[in-house]
Amino acid sequence: MKSKPDDLTRRLKITATSDVNPASLERLCSELQPDLDLSLDERSIFLKSAEPPSWIQFVALAPWWIKALGAYAALYVAEIVKEAGKETWKKRAEIARAAAGAGNKILKFARSLVALRERISPRTKFVFGLPVPDDYPGTRLELTGKDESTIAAEIALFVSYLPAIERLIEAEGLQGKVAFGMTLRIAGDSSLRVAWMIPDSSKTEERTLRLDDEPLARAPN
């Protein structure tokens, strides 16, 4: 059953493959609420292969992400941009975490994911995404960070790029016309690589988005 678009505007949906212990997900939800309005999909995703993939996916429409975390993302990413001379964004993540403050919802989210990592298989991936340009697999970013500073920075960057991702989908006419969804990857310079495959073709398209163009990433006055 597909999620209704209005549901994903109002809340964050958490889905996982069948190997993930439901109790671990329930504990995560209790840690994130009431700061975040979310729902846990009680169905498990069964995938068949020699070694089935393992993931926990966090999906909502862009308005939910921006309303829930946009203000925190702006503060967080402003610190990353300000420290642009200090190598990669991962090197700046610790500085941004310190400046974000204990009440930052992104930092709390990252801290809960680090705690969850201790309760699940190390091969389980954390995936953040949008149910566009198709409901599944949609647009997705795999978090690669292991510590709360790096994970928080990834979340903040993801949220900051959402307006640009939506503009790209519209400009390229991709709604409902992408094979296997769109994949996101944060480069070392904090730019975002967006890739997708053209239906009925083996050709992959890629675009690069940059923080300089994003209002959410600009430092407040």
pLDDT tens digits along 129-166: 999 887 778 999 999 999 999 999 999 999 999 999 99
Q: For position 176, what pLDDT does the model report?
A: 73
When divided into structural domains, the chain yields a total of 1
Range of the domain at 66: 5-217
Q: For position 221, what pLDDT does the model report?
A: 37
The secondary structure of the chain, three-state, reads CCCCHHHHHHCEEEEEECCCCHHHHHHHHHHHCCCCCEEEEEEEECCCCCCCCCEEEEECCHHHHHHHHHHHHHHHHHHHHHCCCCCCHHHHHHHHHHHHCCCCHHHHHHHHHHHHHCCCCCCCEEEEEECCCCCCCCEEEEECCCCHHHHHHHHHHHHHHHHHHHHHHHHCCCCCCCEEEEEEEECCCCCEEEEEECCCCCCEEEEEECHHHCHHHCCCC
pLDDT tens digits along 74-121: 988 888 888 777 788 888 888 888 877 767 899 999 999 999 999 999
Question: The pTM is what?
Answer: 0.89
